[in-house]
A and B are shown apart, each in its own frame.
Chain A
Amino acid sequence: MPTTVRVECTINDETREFLCEPRQSLLECLRDVLGLTGTKEGCNDGNCGSCTVMMDGRIVPSCLVLGVESQGSEITTIEGVARGSELHPLQTAFLESAALQCGICTPGFIVAAKALLDRNPRPDEHEIRLWLANNLCRCTGYDKIIRAVQQAAATLQEAK
């Protein structure tokens, strides 16, 4: 019987406790142990960005972080981006720009794009493309995603 470890961390502003094996990634813990299935598994190897979450203020690929490593950390997943039923401007912009089709990559794109806008509220197109280089989408061709991020940046600026 493999040893399980008790982990306590903050996820989307709530204290969470869970048990996991050392070999389980944070991604597996979020999805399979905690039921937070918004974060998606793509390549499971750090290449595709689908599993991007915010950990202690920085975006990370949750497939390359062990669940046990999240002890004491603060994590934000896609489930923590909207305020109740009120969507974040990025989520609204993705819907309005048709910046998704199958949707598997979308949570990773939104979490990564939110981290960009939090530190750089007015990124130009080149900065957006470079920042999102580790988020792969096989449906949209990216242009609509870039436009959605620009749209959200404009909305957030107007709200200020």
Chain B
Amino acid sequence: MHAFEYANPTTLKDALALLGNRWGDADVLAGGTDILSLMKDEVYVSKRLVNIKNIKELGGISMSRGALRIGAGATLEQLIENAEIRKSFPSLAAAARGVASPQIRNIGTVGGDLCQRPRCWYYRGGNGLLAKGANGRPLVPNGENKYHAIFGHEGGAYFVSPSSLGPALVALDAKIKLASASGTREVEAAKFFVAPASDTARETALLPNEIVTEILVPAGMRNATYEVREKQALDWPLATASVALQMKGNSVASAKVVLGHVAPTPWLAAAAGQALSGKSLSDSTIAEAADAAVQGAKPLSQNKYKVQLARVAVKRALTEIARGRA
């Protein structure tokens, strides 16, 4: 790993003053599970790491004014251990529980889950975010693409968004709060994630001089996440589904179905949400929504299997709600 300068501010204001306007001049260090691996592999180089773990205002999880506030510095394990989240936001608890291992969840943070870089092996191998070969041709479509996108890759980003919480937050209509030295802004979770159109673009709306400070999640929706993995633990999902339903009596007033690990961003399956609207949950309405969720998938040469996994994930997430388990 190249040498870098280390800063350990204790206030958000001080931390923001230490960031710059270009990535790599200064970067945020939270859990470190991603940025330190990238820097060890020299896929990413930063001149200054700003540790934000000792900033109290970035921590904590609480309910206020009908919304859940999650400090971006809260660890994934703190999220899982929180009684309010387990009770009212099982979708978030399930998504966090699926991440890696106790060791990683003990240091990995909520903000870090949202901002981590893609796990695409071409990117991690130094071929850039859009994974292009020496002649500028994309490597993924004819390469090893078993774990790549089946949706949303028309713009040339074939990786899948690695965030576990992202799909759940998009489904729940969460807002992500960002701060810079010149002020704060709120971004809808759905707009926080973007498919980059060039190698120098990023996968999130976060700017180099900003820090994710907190996430606000409205309460009142039935919600669940179902994850499909090859192994039961310490594995990345192959496909996930996060669902959030606004109920009116026994019928669904409105629904959001969001797929994870199938596109460069959490993938809102609008047709699946519409298929559920005004209906009650039954095996047949759930199956229709699951079919609708994967309509228009464009699998690559090795990942057609993900279409079926995503369909099953939607079915199981909705079934958990129908059976009162989430």
C-alpha spacing A73/B264, complex, angstroms: 38
Asked if B103 and A60 sit within 8 Å, CB to CB, the answer is: yes
The verdict on A46 contacting B33 (CB below 8 Å), with A60-B103, A134-B104 known, is yes
Q: Is B305 an interface residue (CB 8 A)?
A: no
Q: Is B49 an interface residue (CB 8 A)?
A: yes
The verdict on A64 contacting B49 (CB below 8 Å), with A22-B6, A23-B3, A46-B103 known, is no
Asked if B3 and A46 sit within 8 Å, CB to CB, the answer is: no
B53 contact set on A, CB distance < 8 A? 69
Q: Is A44 an interface residue (CB 8 A)?
A: yes
Residue of A nearest to B37 (CB): A45
C-alpha spacing A52/B1, complex, angstroms: 20
Q: Is A154 an interface residue (CB 8 A)?
A: no
Residues of B within 8 A of A (CB-CB), count: 30
Partner of A133, one of B1, B2, B33, B234: B234
**0/1 per residue, A28-63, Cβ < 8 Å to B?**
000000000000000011110100100000111100
**0/1 per residue, B1-44, Cβ < 8 Å to A?**
11111101000000000000000000001011100110011000
For the side of the interface on A, what is the size category? 20 to 34
A66 contact set on B, CB distance < 8 A? 6, 29, 32, 36, 49, 51
C-alpha spacing A112/B102, complex, angstroms: 9
B140 contact set on A, CB distance < 8 A? none
C-alpha spacing A66/B46, complex, angstroms: 15
Asked if B37 and A71 sit within 8 Å, CB to CB, the answer is: no
Asked if B100 and A60 sit within 8 Å, CB to CB, the answer is: no
Asked if A134 and B32 sit within 8 Å, CB to CB, the answer is: no
Q: Is A17 an interface residue (CB 8 A)?
A: no
Q: Is A85 an interface residue (CB 8 A)?
A: no
C-alpha spacing A60/B103, complex, angstroms: 5
**0/1 per residue, B76-112, Cβ < 8 Å to A?**
0100000000000000000000001111101100000
Asked if B102 and A134 sit within 8 Å, CB to CB, the answer is: yes
Q: What's the nearest-Cβ distance from chain B to residue A149, in Å?
A: 14
Q: Is B233 an interface residue (CB 8 A)?
A: yes
C-alpha spacing A150/B104, complex, angstroms: 24
Q: What's the nearest-Cβ distance from chain A to residue B42, in Å?
A: 12
Q: Is A5 an interface residue (CB 8 A)?
A: yes
Q: Is B232 an interface residue (CB 8 A)?
A: yes
- Among A49, A69, A129, find the residue whose CB has the most chain B CB atoms closer than 10 A: A69
Partner of B233, one of A47, A52, A130: A130
Q: What's the nearest-Cβ distance from chain A to residue B132, in Å?
A: 25
Q: What's the nearest-Cβ distance from chain B to residue A77, in Å?
A: 14
Asked if A46 and B102 sit within 8 Å, CB to CB, the answer is: no
C-alpha spacing A3/B7, complex, angstroms: 12
Asked if B107 and A21 sit within 8 Å, CB to CB, the answer is: no
C-alpha spacing A130/B49, complex, angstroms: 33
Q: What's the nearest-Cβ distance from chain B to residue A111, in Å?
A: 10
Residue of B nearest to A3 (CB): B5
C-alpha spacing A148/B302, complex, angstroms: 41
B49 contact set on A, CB distance < 8 A? 22, 66
A5 contact set on B, CB distance < 8 A? 6
Asked if B233 and A133 sit within 8 Å, CB to CB, the answer is: yes
The verdict on A65 contacting B32 (CB below 8 Å), with A130-B233, A133-B233 known, is yes
Residue of B nearest to A24 (CB): B1
**Pairs of residues from A and B, 5 with the lowest C-beta to C-beta distance, nearest first:** A134-B101, A22-B6, A133-B233, A58-B106, A133-B234
Q: Given A44-B40, A52-B103, list of 13 further CB < 8 A pairs?
A: A22-B3, A23-B4, A45-B37, A49-B103, A60-B107, A64-B33, A65-B32, A68-B8, A115-B102, A131-B102, A133-B101, A133-B233, A134-B103
Which B residues form the contact surface with A (CB < 8 A)? 1-6, 8, 29, 31-33, 36-37, 40-41, 49, 51, 53, 77, 100-104, 106-107, 231-234
Which A residues form the contact surface with B (CB < 8 A)? 2-3, 5, 21-23, 25, 44-47, 49, 52, 58-61, 64-66, 68-69, 71, 112, 115, 129-131, 133-134
A-B contact pairs, 20 of them (CB 8 A): A3-B5, A22-B6, A44-B40, A45-B41, A49-B101, A58-B102, A59-B103, A60-B107, A61-B33, A61-B103, A64-B33, A68-B6, A69-B53, A115-B102, A129-B233, A130-B233, A133-B232, A133-B234, A134-B101, A134-B104
